[in-house]
């Protein structure tokens, strides 16, 4: 896939880009306003550029300055059994991302650190093995798309005992060939480059929306901007903005969930599979560095501080993978991710303001789905139906938030 860096210097959070003075020269009205420059907003902007839609992309800081500038980049499917429309959508998105990344890399000349590396799931307890074995036929039946098949295989021991310790696999190990990984910072850098090379999308960093109306946004500097349509992709800030558009809700539309992760320097083969065990991710990247994560904290004091919970995660990772023992920690990271009220992505028009679309709430699956969710949202501008599972749609999340208790 070529060279890429996970370092801060190459993060779009540090790139000036075309937006350096853009905030001084904003239009009073715009065809499409995208609020938020995380992975959802960036893909929406790239798709809008390709469609020739006059667009303004706002971010309160800089693109990928929040959770989208993290470390992990694991791209993993849900379990292959109990198949439904949500799992089918995710499968198709994960497979299509390979082509999307190839197109983006060809356009920008920037590598995104993508590799279909597969995944290992240790089975530490005996009762887990029969459940894992029952999933193999489901994968054979359901993990099929566009002429490609992916497998779920249960083995007694890992093929590489230094990458995955046999001690962690008391009842065996699952190997799946569907999972992949990507460098979040390299991908978002490439998305920004694609936007900046275009003619239709203007970026303005350091600006947010403090009040949202059906046809107008009040910006953080006091200016008002009219829009034909708006896409709210402001991460955890999306929920309050979307709630401004309708009657009071019984419950918030979503919440912030903190995650902590670390980057290790280790001499390992970048082709090694992702390891996943009870919330622990071990993700090898192209430059030999290994991303470790992540916590899921519903309550926290500081959204950007790391603490003993990350230390515990690192100890677990080194127990599970002997190759990580003694590896140097080169970065500790924390950030908050948007979890919609029903946990699934929240996409589509607000019933009380159909010109405003939600594009948020991806929580842990955003990097694998954002390109396809952006296609669905922008399809509405072209008069197409919202081709999404019902549970992903804005109207569904509103119904959940409107229900008391």
Write the pLDDT tens digit of every residue in 270-318. 999 999 999 999 999 998 899 999 999 999 999 999 999 999 999 999 9
Cα angle value 322/325/330 (rounded, 5°):
130
Q: Which helix (H) or strand (E) holds 220?
A: none
Cβ atoms of 383 and 336 closer than 8 Å: no
Dihedral (Cα; 73, 338, 32, 216), 10-degree rounding: -160
- Token pair, residue 311, equals 């230390």
Cβ atoms of 277 and 122 closer than 8 Å: yes
> 114-179+255-340 has which CATH code?
3.30.9.10
Fold match between 8-70+185-254+342-402 and 114-179+255-340?
no
- The phi, psi pair for 298, rounded to 5°, reads -80, -25
* CA 95/CA 80 separation, integer angstroms: 15
Q: List the chain domain ranges.
A: 8-70+185-254+342-402, 114-179+255-340
Spatial neighbors of 379 by CB under 8 A, at least 6 apart, are: 385, 386, 387
* CA 56/CA 339 separation, integer angstroms: 25
Q: What is the DSSP string of 313-366?
A: HHHHHHHH-GGGTTPEEEEEEEEEEEEETTSS-EEEEETTEEEEEEEE-BTTSH
Chain-centre distance for alpha carbon 349: 21
Per-residue model confidence as pLDDT tens digits over 322-352: 999 999 999 999 999 999 998 899 999 999 9
Average pLDDT, the chain: 93
All residue ranges of the chain with pLDDT < 50 are 1-10, 13-17, 19-20
pLDDT of residue 288: 87
Q: Does the predicted TM-score (pTM) go above 0.75?
A: yes
pLDDT of residue 25: 83
Query: H helices within 31-84, ranges in order?
Result: 39-51
How many Cα atoms sit within 13 Å of 252 on the Cβ side? 14
Question: Alpha-carbon torsion 85, 91, 92, 94, what sign?
Answer: positive
Per-residue model confidence as pLDDT tens digits over 109-119: 999 999 999 99
* CA 255/CA 242 separation, integer angstroms: 13
Burial annotation 103-112 (CB, 10 A radius, 16+ → b, else e): ebbeebebbb
* CA 331/CA 70 separation, integer angstroms: 11
Give the CATH architecture of domain 8-70+185-254+342-402: 3-Layer(bba) Sandwich (3.50)
- The phi, psi pair for 160, rounded to 5°, reads -125, 100
* CA 101/CA 112 separation, integer angstroms: 7
């Amino acid at each position: 896939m070529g060279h890429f860096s996970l370092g801060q210097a190459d993060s779009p959070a540090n790139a000036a880009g075309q937006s350096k003075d853009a905030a001084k020269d904003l239009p009073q009205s715009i065809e499409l306003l995208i609020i938020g420059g995380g992975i959802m907003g960036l893909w929406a902007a790239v798709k809008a550029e390709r469609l020739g839609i006059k667009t303004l992309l706002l971010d309160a800081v800089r693109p990928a300055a929040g959770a989208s500038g993290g470390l992990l980049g694991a791209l993993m499917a849900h379990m292959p059994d109990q198949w439904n429309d949500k799992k089918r959508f995710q499968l198709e998105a994960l497979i299509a991302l390979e082509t999307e990344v190839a197109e983006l890399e060809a356009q920008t000349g920037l590598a995104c650190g993508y590799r279909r590396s597969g995944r290992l799931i240790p089975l530490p307890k005996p009762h887990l093995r029969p459940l894992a074995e029952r999933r193999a036929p489901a994968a054979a039946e359901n993990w099929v798309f566009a002429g490609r098949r992916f497998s779920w295989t249960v083995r007694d021991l890992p093929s590489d005992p230094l990458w995955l310790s046999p001690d962690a696999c008391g009842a065996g190990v699952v190997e799946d060939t569907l999972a992949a990984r990507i460098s979040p910072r390299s991908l978002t850098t490439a998305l920004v480059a694609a936007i900046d090379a275009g003619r239709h999308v203007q970026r303005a960093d350091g600006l947010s929306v403090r009040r949202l109306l059906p046809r107008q946004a009040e910006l953080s500097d006091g200016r008002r901007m009219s829009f034909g349509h708006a896409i709210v992709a402001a991460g955890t800030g999306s929920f309050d903005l979307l709630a401004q558009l309708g009657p009071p809700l019984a419950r918030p539309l979503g919440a912030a969930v903190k995650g902590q992760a670390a980057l290790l320097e280790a001499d390992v083969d970048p082709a090694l599979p992702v390891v996943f065990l009870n919330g622990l991710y071990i993700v090898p990247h192209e430059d030999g560095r290994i991303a470790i994560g992540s916590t899921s904290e519903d309550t926290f004091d500081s959204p950007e501080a790391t603490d003993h919970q990350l230390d515990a995660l690192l100890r677990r990772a080194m127990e599970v993978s002997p190759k990580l023992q003694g590896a140097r920690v080169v970065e500790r990271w924390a950030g908050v991710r948007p979890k919609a009220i029903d946990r699934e992505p929240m996409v589509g028009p607000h019933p009380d303001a159909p010109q405003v679309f939600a594009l948020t709430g991806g929580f842990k699956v955003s990097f694998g789905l954002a390109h396809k969710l952006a296609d669905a949202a922008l399809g509405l501008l072209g008069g197409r139906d919202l081709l999404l599972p019902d549970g992903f749609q804005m109207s569904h999340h509103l119904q959940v938030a409107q229900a008391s208790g």
